[in-house]
């Protein structure tokens, strides 16, 4: 029987095919009405009826229907975008944003919450109840609850504008990528490309009845071109197209960047903060923008000498190979010559490993690892109603056999799907219904009768995103509002999973040649292991440059407006590889920063911050054994399960017995 309100689903799993764009408006209206009824019960509490149960816990769960419906709509937007869905989301976006912003600006609600926080019952709370009360009070205070009326109105307006502008930013990036394709008829132009890349391009061409090959700006398509294509002209054309994402009309994001920065700066000042970075970081491990910036600058100083040596080495290598004068490379040459230098130094290429990484084998190896470490059991089950026929469905059970979650796996690119890889918690566990999640990416597709064969980077991506999923499935606090962690701690459970991809004992459990079934031979594995630090400082510096730009833009926006892209580029000389032609700015396509109202804005440093944590934490597994179940269960109990019931600093020290150290990250990144 079809649901009258498909976005407000109660069935597990939901019927995605019923979630039509034309249903969204009425469903959101209904969800908002329900949320308001729940909030009214709190607003109307008399003093003698105010309690933890009627006030704090009730508030924590008041907007569940709206949360789930809005999450479902945005999820579909990311995996099955259409003009109709875009229009529907754009129509409801202002009222959804206004409703959420209004909750924390509601005097009646805040008065009840505050009154309870001052009560004797509140003072006697401990454990997770005390923590949820503290988080709830902080949510109100940091969202403008104590602002005067006129400032509340302006803050609410800004939140609505930010939601619309960041949504448009993401749409422009998606549209720009979808609008470009490179058609090739002459096979000679494909020289140097690996077989998997050629097969994928042929598959794309066949779908469009073109007798040749089609390349796009999707990562599985463009990355092999930039890395392996011998044609400098081909690489340059693809690079220029990629550099135009978010820059060229009709999909330019240049004005949106300035507008978003200005609005964020204004909102933070309304709330009483010096800058936007401080407004979002004070409840994270970094505490404020200045501390996050110092962390990035300190790591930069430790990488700078090695970074310069790696750049000099690459330029010298090209000059030697081409019998020409040493000079800066073109931006479309860097990946190509780095790959050639890699092959020359180690006598192998990472592409040679692809035949050993069949998608299903990697997935099963990942599930087996999580079983060893955390005791969870992951099994594929029959696929329910989904948005695309390629999507698969899995169940996750605890060590005792309890169903703790189920998730959709959607790993191959489509024109209607956003780029990159990500995980999403579609609905938290509730009552007898387990958590529902999503893990997706844009990996190399099956082609020419071969299974999907992954690059090593894609293997790491798969492990990374599944680490996020396991983290959110294993959080077992009864309060939904505490099933989360600080943003600069959230990457620890995901990034630590990548470490197992470099260990022979782990790879031997799943990495087998898709034709022969043979394990990775020593003559491939040994140079692979030695190559882990190849251009490690350069890779680190790239991430640091993104984080540095992000923080400065959100700490000192006035210094970069009205042309932030141009001004940021001028200050990155010590953070980027010098090139003969100026490199392309990441900002116009930086959806992490500008594609959501907050997202990773002023928080991109989190990747490196958490990398310090993951390298340090993994050293304990290396000491005790990478499959040691005792260490795995300890990590699960002290890191994965606790959510926000303890601070991230306390959680890390509970596991390691001390504060984090940067030493392990430096050691695995560069040769000192």
Catalytic residues: 465
How far apart, in whole angstroms, are the C-alpha atoms of residue 535 and residue 539? 6
The residue whose two tokens read 């004005």 is: 255
DSSP state of 48: G
Do 384 and 13 contact (CB within 8 A), yes or no?
A: yes
Which stretches of 375-416 are DSSP H helices?
Answer: none
**What are the structure tokens assigned to 219, written together?**
């990562």
Burial class (CB in 10 A: 0-12, 13-18, 19+), 461: buried
Q: What is the DSSP string of 229-240?
A: ---HHHHHHHHH
Given CA atoms 667, 669, 671, 672 in this order, what sign does their dihedral have? Answer: negative
Please name the helix (run of DSSP H) or strand (run of DSSP E) that holds residue 407, with its range, or none: strand 403-410
How far apart, in whole angstroms, are the C-alpha atoms of residue 268 and residue 280? 9
Do 547 and 487 contact (CB within 8 A), yes or no?
A: no
Say whether 477 sits in a helix, a strand or coil. coil
Query: First CA to last CA across the chain, in angstroms?
Result: 65
How far apart, in whole angstroms, are the C-alpha atoms of residue 515 and residue 358? 10
In sequence order, the 6+-apart residues with CB closer than 8 A to the CB of 553 are: 261, 560, 564, 568
DSSP state of 585: P
How far apart, in whole angstroms, are the C-alpha atoms of residue 424 and residue 438? 5
How far apart, in whole angstroms, are the C-alpha atoms of residue 513 and residue 356? 4
In sequence order, the 6+-apart residues with CB closer than 8 A to the CB of 247 are: 253, 254, 588
Q: Which H, E and C letters describe 15-32, residue by residue? A: CHHHCCHHHHHHHHHHHH
Say whether 411 sits in a helix, a strand or coil. coil
């Amino acid at each position: 029987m079809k649901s009258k309100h498909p976005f407000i689903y109660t069935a597990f799993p939901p019927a995605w095919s019923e979630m039509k764009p034309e249903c969204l408006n009425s469903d959101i209206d209904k969800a908002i009405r329900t949320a308001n009824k729940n909030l009214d019960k709190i607003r109307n509490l008399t003093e003698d009826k105010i309690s933890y149960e009627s006030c704090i816990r009730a508030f924590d769960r008041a907007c569940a229907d709206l949360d789930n419906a809005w999450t479902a709509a945005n999820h579909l937007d990311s995996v099955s975008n259409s003009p109709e869905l875009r229009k529907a989301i754009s129509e409801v976006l202002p009222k959804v944003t206004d409703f959420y912003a209004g909750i924390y600006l509601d005097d009646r609600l805040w008065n009840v919450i505050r009154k309870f926080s001052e009560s004797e019952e509140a003072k006697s709370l401990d454990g997770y109840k005390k923590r949820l009360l503290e988080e709830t009070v902080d949510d109100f205070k940091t969202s403008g609850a104590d602002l005067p009326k006129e400032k509340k109105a302006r803050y609410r307006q800004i939140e609505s504008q930010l939601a619309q502008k960041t949504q448009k930013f993401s749409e422009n990036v998606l549209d720009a990528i979808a609008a470009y394709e490179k058609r090739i008829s002459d096979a000679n132009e494909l020289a140097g490309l690996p077989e998997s890349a050629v097969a994928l391009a042929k598959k794309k061409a066949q779908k469009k009845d073109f007798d040749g090959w089609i390349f796009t700006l999707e990562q599985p398509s463009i990355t092999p071109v930039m890395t392996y294509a011998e044609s400098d002209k081909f690489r340059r054309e693809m690079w220029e197209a990629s550099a135009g994402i978010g820059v060229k009309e009709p999909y330019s994001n240049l004005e949106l960047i300035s507008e978003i920065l200005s609005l964020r700066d204004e909102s933070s000042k309304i709330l009483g903060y010096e800058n936007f970075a401080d407004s979002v970081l004070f409840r994270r491990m970094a505490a404020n923008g200045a501390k996050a910036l110092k962390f990035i600058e300190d790591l930069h100083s430790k990488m700078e000498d090695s970074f310069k040596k790696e750049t000099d080495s690459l330029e010298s290598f090209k000059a030697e190979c081409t019998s020409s004068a040493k000079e800066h490379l073109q931006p479309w040459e860097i990946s190509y010559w780095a790959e050639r230098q890699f092959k020359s130094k180690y006598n192998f290429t990472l592409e040679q490993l692809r035949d050993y990484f069949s998608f299903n084998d990697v997935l099963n190896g990942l599930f087996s690892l999580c079983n060893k470490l955390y005791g969870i059991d992951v099994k594929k089950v029959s696929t329910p109603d989904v948005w695309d026929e390629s999507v698969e469905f899995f169940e996750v059970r605890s060590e005792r056999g309890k169903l703790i979650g189920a998730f959709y796996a959607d790993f191959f690119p489509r024109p209607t799907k956003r780029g990159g890889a990500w995980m999403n918690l579609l609905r938290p566990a509730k009552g007898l219904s387990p958590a529902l999640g999503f893990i997706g990416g844009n990996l190399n597709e099956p082609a020419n009768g071969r299974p999907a064969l992954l690059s090593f980077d894609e293997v790491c991506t798969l492990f990374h995103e599944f680490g996020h999923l396991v983290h959110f499935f294993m959080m077992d606090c009864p309060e939904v509002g505490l099933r989360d962690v600080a943003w600069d701690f959230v990457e620890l459970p995901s990034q630590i999973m990548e470490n197992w991809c470099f260990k022979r004992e782990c790879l031997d459990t799943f990495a087998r040649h898709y034709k022969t079934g043979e394990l990775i031979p020593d003559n491939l594995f040994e140079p692979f292991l030695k190559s882990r630090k190849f251009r490690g400082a350069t890779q680190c510096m790239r991430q640091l440059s993104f984080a540095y730009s992000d923080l400065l833009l959100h700490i000192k926006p006035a210094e970069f407006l009205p042309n932030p892209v141009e001004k940021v580029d001028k200050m990155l000389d010590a953070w980027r590889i010098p090139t003969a032609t100026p490199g392309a700015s990441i900002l116009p396509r930086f959806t992490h920063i500008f594609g959501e109202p907050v997202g990773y804005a002023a928080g991109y440093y989190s990747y490196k911050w958490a990398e310090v944590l993951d390298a340090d934490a993994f050293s304990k597994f290396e000491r005790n054994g990478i499959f040691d179940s005792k260490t795995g269960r300890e990590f699960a109990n002290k890191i994965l399960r606790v959510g926000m019931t303890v601070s991230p600093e306390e959680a890390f020290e509970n596991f390691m017995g001390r504060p984090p150290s940067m030493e392990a990250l430096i050691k695995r990144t560069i040769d000192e």
